[in-house]
Amino acid sequence: MNALEAELDYPFADALPEPGRKRAIAPGVWWIRMPLPFALDHINLWLLRDRYDGRDGWTVIDCGVGLEATRDLWRQVLRNELDGLPIVRILCTHTHPDHLGNAAWLIEETSTDPAPPLWMTLGEYTMGRVLQAALPGTDGPGIVAHYTMHGLTDPTHLAKLGERTGYFGKLVPAVPHAFRRIVDGERITIGDDTWRVITGFGHSPEHAALYAERARILISGDMLLPRISTNVSVHATEPEANPVQQFLDSIDRFTPLPEDTLVLPSHGRPFRHLHRRVEQLHEHHDARLGEVFDACAKKPCTAGDIVPIMFKRELDSHQMFFAFGEALAHLHALWYAGRVGRERGADRVYRFVAH
């Protein structure tokens, strides 16, 4: 445990759910854990006991990546962990593959009538459809043009990025053709609790966290993680975005919640001391912005110049995709704050310089 983690409280210590099994968190709330094929090797999913549309059953929060290893674990859950009751609805916090990947498969696999509906915000659902279809701008050529314009020159990384066309679709083979829209501030009754939707931005288009006031439980998705700061990147589809500031503004929306709220994150272990974690994330990004500003004070910098300053380890091409986007995001935060200027050189590459 690092020093920052020691400032948080982990009520379940190191106990994790067994593969394909659920673990009780609170009355009506269970935790399951699925593998991911990345350095971040797991995702937490949540089962909420429910009665919806006149049927007793379960609401599933997030679905894991659409790979066979994850589906095998889901089959165990469906067979052994649901007390013979159906999934009555699926709610995805956001559109990333580890959250949306199995939504369409689960709807088909349950084979109930009516089939469980998918609940999401409009921004997340529509972006999921766009990415799954690999529309121009989200494909390899669009990604390469975006990264080249900001100073990525390594031919191996550029070649790998060019191959990302269809990458999202490999992990999200299908997106349901219809959904039920949820909006910020909406109160959703699930079982014996009412959960308030708290939207957030920066990590994804319109992320939905859920807060149960009576139980003092926050399903935070990727917006509030205990060990790491969630990725905030500038992508080719929104090349002038300011996601760092959006993220910091969004996590401030959790501060009115009680300090002893039990936070159920998508990665890492459930924790308490929500207010301190929000402070830690502000401190982390303030330090990163300081590093980036200092670099730009010494010379004009591309996002490519910033990556090794922010990430001091060797990165594979998958990691570079996120690291580069995050480096550019911190440059944009300084740019929008008026602390650096942006100029495009004769080589058509953007550089940022401190005022």
pLDDT digits (tens, 9 = 90+) for 82-131: 999 999 999 999 999 999 999 999 999 988 889 999 999 999 999 999 99
Q: Enumerate domains of the chain plus CATH numbers.
A: 5-295 (3.60.15.10)
Which residue bears the tokens 């797991």?
A: 42
- Indicate the pLDDT class of residue 30, thresholds 50, 70 and 90: very high
87-91 and 118-120 as β-strands: parallel, antiparallel, unpaired? Answer: parallel
Coil vs helix vs strand at 331? helix
Show Cβ contacts of residue 308 under 8 Å, excluding neighbours closer than 6 positions.
Answer: none
Q: Does the structure show a pLDDT above 80 at 2? A: no
Predicted local distance difference test score (pLDDT) of residue 116: 96
Q: Average pLDDT for residues 329-342, to the nearest whole number?
A: 98
- Identify which of 254, 255, 231, 252 has the alpha carbon closest to the alpha carbon of residue 243: 231
Query: What is the tens place of the pLDDT at every residue in 131-150?
Result: 999 999 999 999 999 999 99
Predicted local distance difference test score (pLDDT) of residue 1: 66
**Structure tokens given for 66:** 């659409």
Show Cβ contacts of residue 144 under 8 Å, excluding neighbours closer than 6 positions.
Answer: 158, 161, 162
Specify the higher pLDDT residue, 39 or 155. Answer: 155
Angle at CA of residue 117, ends 116 and 119, nearest 5°: 135
Query: What is the tens place of the pLDDT at every residue in 216-247?
Result: 999 999 999 999 999 999 999 999 999 999 99
Whole-model pTM: value is: 0.96
Predicted local distance difference test score (pLDDT) of residue 223: 98
User: Exposed, middle or buried, 81 (CB in 10 Å: 0-12/13-18/19+)?
Assistant: middle
Predicted local distance difference test score (pLDDT) of residue 164: 84
- What is the residue-averaged pLDDT of the chain? 96
- Indicate the pLDDT class of residue 175, thresholds 50, 70 and 90: very high
Predicted local distance difference test score (pLDDT) of residue 111: 81
**Structure tokens given for 27:** 């009355």
Predicted local distance difference test score (pLDDT) of residue 337: 98
Q: Average pLDDT for residues 320-337, to the nearest whole number?
A: 96
Q: Average pLDDT for residues 292-307, to the nearest whole number?
A: 98
Q: Average pLDDT for residues 298-310, to the nearest whole number?
A: 97
Contacts 24+ apart (CB under 8 A), 69-75: 69/35, 70/34, 70/35, 70/101, 70/102, 71/102, 71/105, 72/20, 73/19, 73/20, 73/32, 73/34, 73/35, 74/34, 74/102, 74/105, 74/106, 74/109, 75/109
Quick one: CA torsion of 87, 56, 187, 129, rounded to 10 degrees?
A: 20
Radius of gyration, CA atoms only, the chain: 21
Helix (H), strand (E) at residue 328: helix 317-336
